[in-house]
Structure 1
Amino acid sequence: MYAGSQFKYVKHKVEAVDKENLSYSYSVIEGDALMKNALEKIVYETKVSPSPSGVGSICKSTSKYYTIGEFEIKEEQIKAGKDKSSALYKAIEAYLLANPDAY
């Protein structure tokens, strides 16, 4: 379990890695992130591209939730997940900017 995480167990599956186009995707296929079998899986797709100015990059991330039966995900649940992902990206960015030799 990760410190600060609400989940005790999550199993990921890498779906695709495209080094040439700087994109990858993975799925959450098991664990309590699937909300006790309310979700079949969650697919995350990420693509990094150069910024228009040529300085830095743009990271776009898409999440797809595959529900089981009539289960509906509430908008506030999606927003909470998005906020956590954004905070993680900002923390990674800050670390890499402060430690340019780390990558």
Structure 2
Amino acid sequence: MGVVSYELVVNSPIPPAKLYKALVLDSDILLPKIMPQAIKSVEILEGDGGPGTIKKVTFGEGSQFKYSKHKIEAIDKENLKFRHSVIEGDMLMNVIEKITYEIKFEQSPDGGCICKESSSYYTIGDFELNKDQLKAGKEKALGMFKAVEAYLLANPDAY
């Protein structure tokens, strides 16, 4: 097994607590609402929404994948941190054991937010991810982030 990691840092004019609530705490409802072509639905399969919870994400018709299962590893509302792993689904392509995402939201000097995401891909056997596969993962994460940011900018009273 190999591990390939990357980091993504994004600045936003949205305050960190507001972005955390929308992108982490309410994402199961918000993402299918604003990105139905990418995410059709999110359902809890087991757990109460806290650490250990398993969720099934069903992707929309605009996605190349059908579904994935995610396990919530940690939620730290006070420090605006969140960690979860993709543990099953066709996005793992039978060559990745799991993908772990750790996200942290920090206050920026201008009143907005600095979002830091680190992603780790745990590959099976000798499989190596190429730069294009990593770039595609970064672009999808950034696209979701920007969609939520745009929604919050257009709906300042939300959250």
Q: TM-score, normalised by structure 2?
A: 0.61
SS of equivalent residue, structure 2 residue 79: coil
Shift of 1:46: 0.4
2:118 counterpart of 1:44: no
- In structure 2, the gaps of 5 or more residues are 1-58
SS of equivalent residue, structure 2 residue 149: helix
**Runs of 4 or more off by more than 4 Å in structure 1?**
none
Shift of 1:85: 1.1
The structure whose RCO (Cα within 8 Å, separation 6+) is larger is 2
SS of equivalent residue, structure 1 residue 42: strand
Of 54, 69, 73, which aligns to 1:11? Answer: 69
Amino acid at match of 1:33: M
Q: TM-score, normalised by structure 1?
A: 0.93
Amino acid at match of 2:144: L
Query: Once superposed, what is the RMSD of the aligned Cα atoms?
Result: 1.0
Equivalenced residue count is 101
| Cα distance in 2 between the residues matched to 1:7 and 1:66 | 19
| Cα distance in 2 between the residues matched to 1:87 and 1:30 | 22
Paired residue for 2:32? none
2:118 counterpart of 1:26: no
- In structure 1, the gaps of 5 or more residues are none
2:118 counterpart of 1:62: yes
Give percent identity, aligned residues only. 62
Deviations 1:17-73 (A, max 9, x none): 01111000100000001112x1110000100000023x1111111110001100000
